[in-house]
Amino acid sequence: MDIINKLHNEIDERKDELIDLLKTLISFKTPAPPARNTNEAQQFMAEFLAKRAFKVDKWEVYQNDPNVVGTLKGIDSANYQSLIINGHIDVAEVSPDEKWETDPFTPIVKDSAIIGRGAADMKGGLAGALFAIQLLHEAGIQLPGDLTFQSVIGEEVGEAGTLECCKRGYTADFALVVDTSNLHIQGQGGVITGWITLKSEQTFHDATRRQMIHAGGKLMGASAIEKMTKIINGLQELERHWAVMKSYPGFLPGTTTINPAVIEGGRHAAFIADECRLWITVHFYPNETHEQVAKEVEDYIRNIAKGDLWMQENPPIFEWGGTSMIEDRGEIFPSFEVDPDHEAVQKLMKSHASVLNEKPVVDVSPSVTDGGWLGSSGIPTAIYGPGHLRHAHAVNEQLAINELVDYTKVMIQFIYDWTNSKKEEKHNEIQ
């Protein structure tokens, strides 16, 4: 490991270059929404990887929002482990009224931290991984296993550039998502959004309401908005049931939530509302799937509808997920679990302990990342990145420089160790 110790020293000596690399990434204005603005940043990523001997694949997922995947073939790919490093180039939106110390895309260093939109979420992770790759390349180190670097679009708005990488056939023996985790090794729960619609085939004038709600009116009709309140109450009942019956280590009880986020309904004041749509966000645990929880919601709400005379004739309609919060107002973030006994996780733990001289934390993220798409594709996956979630999406978003340096050291050691591991080797290296 003398070569790795030498490279660790080089990271300390060239810290300013690492900071400048992160500043460069932050300076690309890639907020989503509005999105459709990442091409310039992604071209930088493509050229950076190409200069380090990666074969680069760049393609548009949406107009002016391309994915970039760089592949560095190992010198003995058949026998050594392969690695995907994954991160998103888009950052959280910035509102005009936010009071930043500086322009969010003109990064500054203050109090030993880099301030700028995306510093924590998650251009810091991208910069650390890229700088590790650069130093390995400059040292002339040829990795036995394949190394794939994915810079993807759309994570902030559920557009899952990572899913498009999976569809394109990119795979590996292990994937590391370099998103915000405060240097914890993490799995995650999942999120799915859905629309519940109540719609009548008939429309009624506002003046007919008395006939629907009072004795002897003899008009079988109802306001879809009022009927939706029964569904909202039902969702709250199911949410409470989950809180009692479901749990997962590392999550506070009741983390499985059903949020009635948006409601739309009615035409105008001269009509009885013939349609109402409810947009919900469902959070679920790492050992659950989005298909499973969607079915649980549907089954429960359909049983409620069976007890309502109007909803028996006008049953709820369910639409789940989506590929974009911008394009079709829906998203899915699959969950995934981290196996602490997996050889790659063991090596990541060892790298962390070696650099920081502390036992690594293996837990679950309270947020979601694209890692679920990698896990759903059959790739063992973990989240491991610099930055605190309290800084992500925040005014004056920032990343501590010492954390970025430590992270880069861990990454250079882990990349080297994992791609130098033979496929048939099974180690147990928990510290």
Query: DSSP code of 207?
Result: G
The answer to whether the beta carbons of residues 89 and 44 sit under 8 Å apart is: no
CA distance 242 to 266: 32
The answer to whether the beta carbons of residues 148 and 82 sit under 8 Å apart is: yes
Query: DSSP code of 263?
Result: E
The verdict on whether 97 is a catalytic residue reads no
Half-sphere exposure of 52 (CA within 13 A, CB side): 25
Place of tokens 């679009």: 153
The answer to whether the beta carbons of residues 62 and 90 sit under 8 Å apart is: no
CA distance 164 to 158: 12
Residue 166: how many other CB atoms lie within 10 Å: 20
What SS3 state is found at 101?
coil
| Sign, CA torsion 223/224/228/230 | positive
Spatial neighbors of 144 by CB under 8 A, at least 6 apart, are 74, 75, 76, 77, 79, 80, 419, 420
The answer to whether the beta carbons of residues 148 and 85 sit under 8 Å apart is: yes
Annotated catalytic residue: which of 90, 179, 370, 397?
Answer: 90
CA distance 407 to 154: 24
CA distance 361 to 183: 8
Of 262, 398, 416, whose CA–CA distance to 325 is shortest?
A: 262
Which residues face 410 on adjacent strands? none
What does the angle CA 90 – CA 384 – CA 417 come to, to the nearest 5 degrees?
120
Structure tokens at 334: 């699959």
Annotated catalytic residue: which of 57, 65, 146, 155?
Answer: 155
CA distance 93 to 31: 5
The verdict on whether 155 is a catalytic residue reads yes
Place of tokens 């990488």: 165
Structure tokens at 405: 């340096």
Residue 63: how many other CB atoms lie within 10 Å: 9
Active-site annotation, residues = 90, 155
